Chain A
Amino acid sequence: MNPTDITNPEYFHKVIDCQYACPAHTPVPEYIRLIAAGRYDDAYMINWESNVFPGVLGRTCDRPCEPACRRGRVDEEPVAICRLKRVAADNKGNVKARMPLPPVRKNGRKVCLIGGGPASLTVARDLAPLGYEIHLYDEWHKGGGMMRTQIPGFRLPESVLDEEVNYVLALGIHTHFNHYVSSLKEILEKDYDAVFIGTGAPKGRDLNLPGRKEAGDRVHIGVEFLANVAFGHKKTIGKRVIVLGGGNTAMDCCRTARRLGGQDVKVIVRSPFQDMKASPWEIEDAKAEGIPILNNMPPKEFVVEDGKLKGMIFSKVKAVYDEAGKRSLVPTGEPDEFIEADDVIIAVGQDNAFPWIERDLGIEFGKWDLPVINPISFQSTRPDVFFGGDAAFGPKNIITAVAHGHQAAISIHLYCSGQNVLDRPAPTVNLYQQKMGIHEWIYDSVVTEDDRYKVPHASLDVTLKDLRAEVELGFDRETAFREAQRCLNCDVQTVFTPDLCIECDACMDICPTSSITFTTNGDEDDLRSRLMAPANNRSQDLYVSRELPTSRVMVKDEDVCLHCGLCAERCPTSAWDMKKFLYSVTKTTKII
């Protein structure tokens, strides 16, 4: 193999699994160390710069970082990254003083944001400090978008959301609430220099089954149901409730139904449990509230008698996989099952919908009637119109919307300054020395063996009675410290300088996880088979040095390196060194 080019910022970035997996590339280990040090304000601001809604995300994020977490590959469970983020938000002091102020002198440019959710608010946060005059339109009376309409209060208190939405609005954003934009043409006729569309994926799918019409208003569409509950329009529900669908929306619906008076609430999914889209922890929380989940039961029809919904009939299937691994659901031959219900909530997915965008504005629409968007710049085929969040590429999650928002803000800024929107700014990277003494590092190099700590929950007696009582109570500071110590500090990189190596093998001998091997070079397959331990995780790179005097190379499998620093401690010549690699995605406005 060729020697690894560690000057390419993406090499070490990829070693920081959590940060790499985060759509917004939040520097996770950096803020976790700050939480351990009790520096909650600093930890919050690092998050605020990257993801704008630390308090919201610390409760609701889909956490792509956690399945990626290296700790999950050496220990039973990953670091509770998401809930540590919440600790920063819960314990911070007055962070407002550290946030930018809207400049007194504007730059003369006006930008319109349609939709008041996480994508638009991120664009607003990034552009307002540069002097842009920002106008934000939303159909509701408050900002937040789906964070407000689709996430129930028992998972996200309104005060937390209001606080973080307001940090953005305080940057001098002109809000046009209670204003549903029904024509893009009208907006484009105004004097905006650029328009950003962050209207989400607002259309919940219906199920066209026999009896659907007759069942009438006892059948609800998941996202609409959640919005109606959020705004207090819907306050009760029948005792027996069926929720159809296996995603996070279904989980929110069933738990909400429990709180509205549903006593016998069931989730029914058409396919096997393991194919459910909902996050494992959301499923767990639903089950803990006494909600059974039945699988392999596709809904067949609504049973309505005398104009009243009685329940639903389901057929029974099993999943069969062909050679290519493709799944089909085949009937088991068992008789259909009737399940009683007073209400049915359909939460089987959502779609983007743009009935309000005229098709003669120069915005090209492609497959599934979705706008054609450049995945790097988020620009549509009409240069002054940009998309982001679920509106861009379909339903994802908050953190993805935020990441889109940052990139769209860069594009809008480039566009408004007459530059090429594809000239993207490089990330900023820094390597920091960690050595303090012979066996001393600035970071806590010792790897604790603690198991993942559980976030305490409020008692069901309280939470099932009160729609707005938060279920998760968050880590206290002591537990947060312990959980933070579980972080392996993957951003503290093992940096190898071949010129200094005397090939004493000390690093190879000490490495707890047998990650380092000195051997003769070969191609990747060959090398992977000849290392101290099998290097079968292909998603993790091999770090290969140039040839050393004994004609061997140093090969490090990044897969399960603990970043414990023992290789560097045992190195007599400092050929190994531990250096903190801080990678940050460049934003239009630097916050920290």
Chain B
Amino acid sequence: MSYVKSRFRHPEQKKNAVGFVKSDYEGALSTLCAGCGHDSISAAIVQACYELSIEPHRVAKLSGIGCSSKTPTYFLGNSHGFNSVHGRMPSITTGANLANRDLIYIGVSGDGDTASIGLGQFCHVMRRNLNMTYIVMNNGCYGLTKGQDSATADYGSVNKAGSENPFPAIDLAELAITLGATFVARSFSGDKTQLIPLLKAALSHRGFAFLDVISPCVTFNNNKGSTKSYDYVRQHIEATSALDFVPEAEEITVEYEEGSSTTVELHDGSLLALRKLSPGWDPTDRNAAMNQMDKAKREGKILTGLLYAETSSRDLHDVLATVDQPLNSLTQEKLCPGSAALEGINSSFR
């Protein structure tokens, strides 16, 4: 019986720019089902943070409830974490972010956690353009409670018990674009070549970055007739473009064909280079993105890749004109200037 992962690693592990090897970004051994898509996403997060040379202590992971929300235990074991209550990850992240704007916030949620109980919080955190990366590990069901259909289950999708879903699905990516998310992408746990650059771009984006990652539940929703199974997703997947993440310091070395490629410059100067664009799509045009998604849906396809990005937006701190430093770095006098200062403020309203 194992449940133990040896601490031996490949002897030639390379250090990244901040001196960490990839295993420094690992977490505890997963207790999820063997083959769960969520574990692949965790591995992609590990890889993305390692490649971005993010210092683990600069990351905070937050989640709600569900198999997906358990995953922060399984990656970035040296980072901060908060496992909140069902559907409440956005409000906890908002509070944390307002208190300490210097950390990198990764919110992990499930389709149940986001599209059912947490739908309200999800909408508001997007409207506020909180600077965070919000990942939904979307398996179309409530995995943790044994696979009931969730609000992202497609109409007509057959669950493990054999019944068809009678309700239309909420498309979280469409909702995100509608409600003002400033970076929206969809991906698949089984396609790390796409997922890792998207994660890196999302983590480099300033503002609300939303990633809807289809992540098959092998135990309860990987059956024939399910539209979130490995087989179904692989057969129906279509990408808006191929992607390369180009860090700030590096030059683009690949030559891209005119007209079929574009780049999105992110807040920190890094670039997301997009090749073989699907015709009629422009990542900075909200309407074009919506049209593309509609079209794909009509054709029975699952559109993945970057869908929409708006990189010059103002995040919540900008809008609220908060202080530049994290609150924990302010002196007591600054944080709590005393009753005389309060008196001054009050009298300014009189």
Of the candidates A440, A513, A560, A570, the one whose C-beta lies within 8 Å of that of B39 is A570
Given known contacts A504-B218, A509-B43, A560 and B35 CB-to-CB distance under 8 angstroms: no
Task: Decide yes or no whether A562 CB sits under 8 A from chain B.
Answer: yes
Contact with B along A74-90 (1 / 0, CB 8 A): 11000000000000000
Check if A402 is an interface residue, CB within 8 A of chain B. Answer: no
Q: How far, in Å, is B25 (CB) from chain A's closest CB?
A: 13
A566 touches B5 (CB 8 A): yes
Q: Is the CB of A509 within 8 A of B2?
A: no
| Interface contact B2-A564, CB-CB below 8 Å | yes
Task: For the complex, give the distance between the alpha carbons of A61 and B305 in Å.
Answer: 60
A562–B4 Cα distance when bound, in Å, is 13
Q: Mark A376-418, 1 if CB is under 8 A from B, else 0.
A: 0000000000000000000000000000000000000000000
Given A75-B8, A513-B8, A533-B10, does the pair A445, B230 have CB atoms closer than 8 Å? no
Q: Once the chains bind, are B2 and A565 in contact (CB under 8 Å)? A: yes
Inter-subunit contact A504/B35 (CB<8 Å): yes
Report A-chain residues with C-beta under 8 Å of the C-beta of B42: 509
Cβ–Cβ < 8 Å partners of B43 in chain A: 505, 508-509
Residues of A within 8 A of B280 (CB): none
Asked if A446 is at the interface (CB within 8 A of a chain B CB), the reply is: yes
- What are 12 A-B contacts defined by CB distance under 8 Å? A73-B11, A437-B1, A446-B2, A447-B4, A447-B6, A503-B234, A509-B42, A509-B43, A533-B12, A564-B2, A564-B6, A566-B5
Q: Hey, which chain A residues are within 8 Å of B40, CB to CB?
A: 504-506, 509
Residue of B nearest to A506 (CB): B35
A500–B13 alpha-carbon span in the complex (Å): 31
Let me know if A502 is at the binding interface, CB within 8 A.
Answer: yes
Interface string of A570-583 (1 = CB under 8 A from B): 11110000000000
Asked if A510 is at the interface of the complex by the 8 Å CB criterion, the answer is yes
Interface size, B (range):
20 to 34
B37 on interface, CB distance cutoff 8 Å = yes
Is B140 located at the chain interface by the 8 A CB criterion? no
Q: Enumerate chain A residues within 8 angstroms of B9, measured Cβ to Cβ.
A: 74, 512-514
Q: Contact check, A572 vs B10: say whether CB atoms are below 8 A apart.
A: no
- Flag whether B192 is at the interface (Cβ < 8 A): yes
**A-facing residues in B207-244 (Cβ within 8 Å):** 216, 218, 222, 230-231, 234
In the bound complex, do residue B230 and residue A449 qualify as a contact, i.e. CB atoms below 8 Å apart?
A: no
Is residue A428 contacting chain B, with contact meaning CB distance below 8 A? no
Q: Of the candidates B1, B7, B222, B230, which one forms a contact with A440 in the assembled complex, judged by CB atoms under 8 Å apart?
A: B1
Contact, CB under 8 Å: A562 / B6: yes
Give Cα A506 to B42, complex, Å.
Answer: 11
* Complex Cα–Cα for A133 and B37 (A): 68
Closest chain B residue, CB of each to CB of A568: B34
In the complex, whether A94 has a CB less than 8 A from a CB of chain B is no
1/0 per residue A490-523: CB within 8 Å of B? 0000000000001111101110111100000000
Contacts A74-B11, A503-B190, A504-B35 given; indicate if A445 touches B218 (C-beta within 8 A).
no
In the bound complex, what is the Cα–Cα distance between A566 and B231 (angstroms)? 24
**Which of B2, B36, B218 is A566 in contact with, Cβ under 8 Å?**
B2
CA distance A441 to B8 in the complex (A): 20
With a cutoff of 8 Å between Cβ atoms, the chain B residues found around residue A509 in the complex are: 39-40, 42-43
Tell me the residues in window 260-312 of chain B with beta carbons closer than 8 Å to chain A beta carbons: none
Contact with A along B1-37 (1 / 0, CB 8 A): 1111111111111000000001000000110011111
A382 to B3, CA, bound (A): 61
A437: chain B residues at CB < 8 Å are: 1
Contact with B along A119-160 (1 / 0, CB 8 A): 000000000000000000000000000000000000000000
Q: Point out the residues of chain B lying under 8 angstroms from A539, CB to CB.
A: none
Which 10 interchain pairs have the tightest Cβ spacing?
A572-B35, A509-B43, A447-B6, A533-B10, A74-B8, A504-B35, A570-B34, A572-B34, A505-B40, A572-B218
Inter-chain contact B2/A573, CB cutoff 8 Å: no
- Give complex CA distance A441, B30 in Å: 19
Q: Which partner residue on chain A sits nearest B7 by CB separation? A: A449
Contact B2 A569 (CB under 8 A): yes
Cβ-defined contact, A502 with B35, below 8 A: yes
Q: When chains A and B are docked, how far (Å) is the Cα of A569 from the Cα of B30?
A: 11
Residues of A within 8 A of B6 (CB): 446-447, 449, 512, 562, 564
Cβ-defined contact, B3 with A439, below 8 A: yes
Q: Per-residue 0/1 for A513-547: is the Cβ within 8 Å of any B Cβ (1 yes, 0 no)?
A: 11100000000000000000110100000000000
Cβ of B11: which chain A residues have Cβ within 8 Å of it?
73-74, 560
Known: A445-B2, A449-B7, A566-B5. 4 other contacts (CB 8 A): A447-B8, A514-B10, A564-B5, A572-B218
- Of A74, A446, A536, which one neighbours B4 at CB under 8 angstroms? A446
Q: Which residues of B contact A534 (CB under 8 A)?
A: 10, 12
How far is A515 from B190 in the complex, measured between Cα atoms in Å? 18
A93 at the interface (CB under 8 A from B): no
User: Are A502 and B39 in contact (CB-based, < 8 A)?
Assistant: no
B39 near A510 with CB under 8 A, answer yes
B2:A513 contact, CB within 8 angstroms: no
Q: A560 vs B13: C-alpha distance in the bound complex, in angstroms?
A: 12
Contacting pair A504 B1 (CB below 8 A): no
- State the Cβ distance, A103 to closest chain B Cβ, in Å: 48
Instruction: Establish whether residues B10 and A560, one from each chain, have CB atoms under 8 Å apart when the complex forms.
Output: yes
Smallest Cβ-Cβ distance to B191: which chain A residue: A550
Given A502-B35, A572-B33: A512 and B5 interface contact (C-beta under 8 Å): yes
- Measured between beta carbons, the chain B residues less than 8 angstroms from A506 are 34-36, 39-40
Query: CA–CA, A452 to B176, complex, Å?
Result: 57
Minimum Cβ distance to chain B for residue A73 (Å): 7
A536 touches B10 (CB 8 A): no
Query: Taking CB as reference atom, which chain B residue is nearest A534?
Result: B12
A560, closest chain B residue (CB):
B10
- CB contacts (< 8 Å) of B7 on chain A: these are 449, 512
Q: Is A456 an interface residue (CB 8 A)?
A: no
A440: min CB distance to chain B, Å: 5
- Contact between chains at A571 and B35 (CB < 8 Å): yes
Output the nearest chain A residue to B193 by Cβ-Cβ distance.
A519
Closest to A515 in B: B10
A446 to B29, CA, bound (A): 13
Closest to B26 in A: A512
- Nearest-CB distance from A564 to chain B (Å)? 6
| Distance (whole angstroms) from the CB of A69 to the closest CB of chain B | 14
User: Known contacts being A504-B218, A505-B192, A566-B5, is A549 close to B35, with CB within 8 Å?
Assistant: no
A503-B230 in contact given A509-B42, A536-B12, A572-B218 (Cβ < 8 Å): yes
Given contacts A439-B1, A506-B35, A506-B39, contact A513 B10 (CB under 8 A): yes
Contact A573 B35 (CB under 8 A): yes
Residues on B with C-beta less than 8 A from A508 are 43
Question: Looking across the interface, which residue of chain B has its beta carbon closest to that of A447?
Answer: B6
The interface bits of chain A over 416-455 (1 if a CB of B lies within 8 angstroms of the residue's CB, else 0) are: 0000000000000000000001011100011101000000
Residues of chain B contacted by A572 (CB below 8 angstroms): 33-35, 218
Instruction: Report the Cα distance A571→B35, complex, angstroms.
Output: 6
Q: Are B190 and A505 in contact (CB under 8 A)?
A: yes
Q: How far does the alpha carbon of A149 sit from the alpha carbon of B101 in the complex, in Å?
A: 79
Q: A314 vs B7: C-alpha distance in the bound complex, in angstroms?
A: 51
B13 CB contact (under 8 Å) in A441, A515, A533: A533
A454 to B6, CA, bound (A): 23
**Residues of chain A within 8 A of B2, CB atoms compared:** 439, 441, 445-446, 564-566, 569
Pick the most buried of B12, B34, B190, B222: most chain A CB atoms within 10 A of its CB: B34
Q: How far is the CA of A312 from the CA of B13 in the complex (A)?
A: 52
Closest residue to A570 on the B side, CB-wise? B34
Q: How far is the CA of A206 from the CA of B181 in the complex (A)?
A: 87
A512 to B5 alpha-carbon distance, docked (Å): 7
> What residues on B are CB-neighbors of A536 within 8 Å?
12
